[in-house]
Amino acid sequence: MGRELRFDLGEIYDDLLTIDAFQRGVSDTQQANSLLGAKLLERQALILKRVEYLAWKRGITPRQMWLDILAGNAKEIALEEVQGLASQGLLEGKTGDDSVPL
């Protein structure tokens, strides 16, 4: 089971959600869950690509980046750290160039 999220939608979005849920014959909570799930699936490829970029920037695998984010261990990376990784050759692409994988 997933975690429970609570946030204020704002008046217009709250009204739209209530009307959308009514039209579908479900509760506001059910409709919000459905909409959020659909939007995340729509963005899945982009999210995965961003994880690849963040991992590349840190010199770690995408799998490790994914796990670090989920565990709450992912941190912002400082410019000095990026420069250090680059000077060690750890930010080179698979083809040996310095292109960013996005």
31-59, pLDDT tens digit by residue?
Answer: 999 999 999 999 999 999 999 999 998 88
Report the chain's mean pLDDT, rounded to a whole number: 87
| Residue range(s) defining the domain that contains residue 82 | 46-87
Claim to verify: residue 54 and residue 75 sit in the same structural domain: yes
Q: Is residue 102 part of a domain?
A: no
Amino acid 45 reads A
Q: Rounded mean pLDDT of 17-29? A: 97
The reported pLDDT for the residue numbered 102 is: 56
Distance from chain centroid for Cα 84: 26
**For residues 36 and 42, what is the distance between their CA atoms, to the nearest angstrom?**
10
The span from the CA of 95 to the CA of 88, in Å, is: 16
Q: With respect to residue 5, please indicate whether it lies within any of the assigned structural domains.
A: no
Same domain, 52 and 69: yes
**26 falls within a domain:** yes
Task: Provide CB contacts within 8 A for 51, sequence distance 6+.
Answer: 62, 65, 66, 69
- 52 and 23 fall within a common domain: no
Specify the length of the chain in residues. Answer: 102
Question: Which alpha helices (H) appear in 1-102, and where do they start and end?
Answer: 11-24, 28-42, 44-58, 62-71, 79-87
**Number of domains the chain is built from:** 2
In this model, does residue 13 exceed pLDDT 60? Answer: yes
